[in-house]
Structure 1
Amino acid sequence: MPLRYLLKQILMPPGILLLLLLLGFLLRRRRPRLAVGCFVVGFAGFWLLSLPLTVEWGARLLEREPALAPSEWAQLAQRADAIVIIGAGRERGDPSWGSDQPGLMARERLRYAARLAKASGLPLLTSGGLHYGTPPSEAQLMADSLAEDYGLKVRWREERSRTTWENAEFSAPILREAGIRRIVLVTQAQHMPRAVWSFERNGLEVLPAPVGFIGVDNARPFAGLLPEAKAFWQSNQLLNEALGLLGYWVFYR
């Protein structure tokens, strides 16, 4: 896990872009043309990934599944047997709560899943393992939040997974043992293609319930052509999903 974490931080933005800028500085005397190329690519990468317009266009390529209409929520029990919520990290030791809490994207998923569960009456499964080996699991944190914040009891917890593929791989046996083959899958819209692919490869019929769409009109001044820190973070998430989808297709097909 530490090696995987290290490689990801180096090879994904901003790590790879900082390396290019560093190379540009180190090579400025010995290889000036190469140094200029490294600097231009590094700077351009930072600029492009920081644009809300880049986020908008990039997200539209990944957010393929349409949102469920509110009028469909009550009928979900006719199309599926359970709701599965994929974990999305956690916030460590939040002093306001006196304990770890689900991450921001996880909370967005939980709120949406709670609405779907209350409308449909479907049982819930939370999926997510330990965060860098430290308990409690993401599945437990989400289950606690659903109980305390929304008054919903989670029926199953999958607490071993570290990746989206493992979310599916370890959740599928739990669901099959309960006689469940059809699920409503709740995760971020940009994450949904990889998540659906993983759960279907593990033998489940998936009804996507995406949340957190960002491929919408950015509504920023100057058409979203001014850099923003939030846009850089979102672009990194989109790039991670695109590479992850490609990698899953190569390694898990």
Structure 2
Amino acid sequence: MPIRYLIKQLLLPPGILLLLLLLAWWFRRSRPRLAGVCFAVGFGGLWIMSLPIAVEWGARAIETEPLLPQSQWTTLAQRADAIVVLGSGREREDPTWGMDIPTGVALERMRFAARLSKDSGLPILTSGGLHYGQPPSEAAIMADSLQSDFGATVRWKEEASRTTWENATMTAALLQPTGIKRVVLVTQAWHMPRARWSFEKAGFTVIPAPVGFLGVDNARPFKGWLPESKAVWQSGQLLNEAAGLLAYPLFYRSL
């Protein structure tokens, strides 16, 4: 896991862009033209990643699943048997709560899942394994928070998955033997295309319930053309999804 994490962080932006800047400095005397190219790509890439307008445009290309209309929330039980909410990491030993808690992204998903469960009466499954091998699982952390913070009871916890593909296949191992093959899937809008593909490959009929759309008006001064630190993180998420959308059909096409 540490080696895979290291490789991923170095090959995807902003890691690869920082490496290019390092190469630009390294070759500044011996190969100045190569250094110039490395600097231009590295600096330019980081600049683009920092622009809210770039996040907005990139998200519009990735967020292809539409929102779930409120008019359908109360009737979901006619089309699905369970709500599946995917984990998104955790905050380790948060000093306010004195324990591990869900990330802000996970809380956004959990809030929506709790509301859908309340309106539809559908049971909830949380999915997410050990974060870097350390207990408790993401699924358990989310289940506790859903109960204590949102008053929603979780019926199932899938606590072993480490990837979106494993979210799907391990959830299938839990639910499909009980006859559940229709699920409402809750995750970020930018993550939904890959998540839906994985769950459909695992044998589910999926009703997408995306949250956290980034492909909307960024509402920033100067229309988002000034750099912003938050945009770097958001751009990184979108680039990771773009890589995943390309890689998953190659890695899992025969499954």
TM-score, length-normalised on structure 2?
0.98
Which residue of the partner structure matches residue 20 of structure 1?
A: 20
| Residues 1:49 and 2:49 aligned together | yes
Measured against aligned partners, the alpha-carbon deviations of 1:71-112 in whole angstroms (never above 9, x if no partner) come to 110000011000000000000000110100011110000001
In structure 2, give the amino acid aligned to 1:190. W
1:189 paired residue number = 189
* CA–CA distance in structure 2, aligned partners of residues 221 and 150 of structure 1: 35
In the alignment, is residue 247 of structure 1 matched against residue 250 of structure 2?
Answer: no
For the residue of structure 1 that corresponds to 2:46, the secondary structure is: helix
The one-letter amino acid paired with 2:103 is G
Q: Corresponding residue for 1:148?
A: 148
State the partner residue of 1:139.
Answer: 139
In structure 2, the partner of 1:161 is 161
Gapped runs of 5+ residues in structure 1? none
Matched positions, count: 253
Query: Aligned equivalents of 2:76 and 2:26: distance in 1?
Result: 59
Residue 220 (structure 1) aligned with residue 223 (structure 2): no
Instruction: Write out aligned runs for 1:91-106 (5 A).
Output: 91-106=91-106
Following TM superposition, the consecutive aligned residue runs of length 4 or more in structure 1 with deviations greater than 3 angstroms are none
- Return the offset for 1:57: 0.4
C-alpha distance in 2 between matches for 1:86 and 1:214:
18
Q: TM-score, normalised by structure 1?
A: 0.99
- Cα deviation, 1:18-60, whole Å, max 9, x if unaligned, reads 1100110110111010000000000000000110000000000
2:131 aligned counterpart, secondary structure: coil
Q: Secondary structure at the match of 1:136?
A: strand
Secondary structure of the 1:148 match is: helix
RMSD: 0.6
- 1:205 is aligned to 205
Report the secondary structure of 2:134's partner residue. coil
Q: Unpaired runs of 5+ in structure 2?
A: none
Residue 80 (structure 1) aligned with residue 87 (structure 2): no
For 1:156 and 1:177, locate their aligned partners in 2 and report how far apart those are by CA, in whole Å. Answer: 13
1:222 CA drift (Å):
1.0
| Percent of aligned pairs with the same amino acid | 68
CA distance in 1, matches of 2:151, 2:177: 26
Question: How many angstroms does 1:177 deviate by?
Answer: 1.7
What CA distance in whole angstroms lies between the structure 1 residues aligned with 2:67 and 2:218? 18
* Partner AA of 1:168 in structure 2: A
Deviation at 1:119, TM superposition (A): 0.2
CA separation in 1, counterparts of 2:39 and 2:117? 50
Q: How does 1:24-39 map to 2 (within 5 A)?
A: 24-39=24-39
Cα offset, 1:150, TM superposition = 1.3
